Structure 1
Amino acid sequence: MLLEVIATTAEDAWLAEQGGADRIELITAFPEGGLTPSLGLVEEVRARVSLPVRVMIRPHARSFVYSRIDAETMLRDVRHIAAIPGLGLVTGMLRPDGAVDEELLTALLAAAEGLPVTFHRAFDEAVDLAAAYEVLAKYPQITDLLTSGGAAIAPEGAELLAGLIRRSASGGPAVLCGSGLNADNLPDFLACTGAERIHLGSAVREGGDPRRPVDPAKVEEVRSLLHSWKR
């Protein structure tokens, strides 16, 4: 099973690696849902950890519908990040009608020059989740879909997540389950959904506070739980 942990600093990333995380999602502005980090931070994290790192591409937290100027900003960020070896990207975008913005998506994928991409929880605000998944499944470069199953938190979207996980077995992005998961509710969630990729943020931080550092002991607790999980 894959355990991805959110990092907002280079120290977070290092602590997550010490605790046994498999991958880092690097963001800034955690309370706002995550925005694009600085290039200095991206470079420092890449230098400090050996784990795979996926970098958020999101210029603001107003919505997942982006203007032409927003799109140009995102493309510039992608090109800069693609020049740093050994990274992946996290992004997501919708049209005003709630469908995936394929025009912007294809432009960003081209600028990423083959980097692996996670489509983030913009998916959960799509007007038709099944249709949105079929769109994403057309792009092999999109390896992961971060989603709570269209619900506020993943445990509430467990039924839909289980369906998406079954659908992904036929091809398409792997389902990365995130939001509201923790060491206490993971066993029931795993049993219900068959999830094999878990994304954690506040649950592995000191005091469960998104503004506090990653707690490697909490990461290790979840890593141990996932390692020992039996279907």
Structure 2
Amino acid sequence: MTAARLPRVVLRLHRTALIVWTLFVLGAVAFLVWLNEVEADRVQAQTTLCRHASTYCANVFASLDYSSPMGWISSVVYYSFWGVAAWAGAALIGRELESGTAQLAWTQGVSPTRWLATKLALPALALTVGGTLFVFVFRWGWSAHRDLMGDDWTFNDVFAARGPALVAWSLCALAVGTLTALLLRRSLPALAVSVSVMVVLNRYMEKHRTDLWPNTPTDRSRHPASHFWPMNLIETGILLTIAALSTTAAFWSLRRRTA
């Protein structure tokens, strides 16, 4: 296997994961489009009828038919980084080190550094493109029918899905899973440790997210909407820094083991 053929080999080995990710993102985007272009009109009509009814309206909570699915789809896509960590630790890196496939590639004209760089570049591109597409569509859906949505943007899934933090979580999971696999060199332990690390990191970030940007006493401990972008960009920066450090450590570990 030559270095020129390596990207095609990686695509062939992990085409199932790429197909699943593509269908997952397109399915989520299609659901958002349907929710906003079709379902929103029905919900809007129900809530309008409800406001003009002279007696108790059974559809008083009709807006939940719109806001709840928006929340569910953002949660599913947001927490998909757990799956990214598991896949990176087990299938992308851990399995090939455990089976000896990686070592075989290194003897056929592909350097360990080139092997790892290609292994990371293709999934990172897919995660970035897919996550960015979802963020743009979700932001459109979030803004299109504000009267059907609550005004609390600090929910964990909504906060991430409206900005680049969504992509940063996936890239961080990819890097952490890769580093874990290179350190443990066994797929199942790498899977377990990678997911555990990301769960702990996620819980910590969610708990301290409100501390990312100073709040004033006049805001009564609740961040105004103007704080969304500073908070989201700071969280994105933290996650990308962790991803960069993990990636650097992964290359260092690989070079040390193959020197």
Instruction: Point out the structure with max Rg over C-alpha.
Output: 2
TM-score norm. by structure 1 comes to 0.26
Larger RCO: Structure 1 or Structure 2 (Cα < 8 Å, ≥ 6 residues apart)? 2
Structure having the higher helix fraction is 2
Q: TM-score, normalised by structure 2?
A: 0.24
Q: Which has the higher strand share?
A: 1
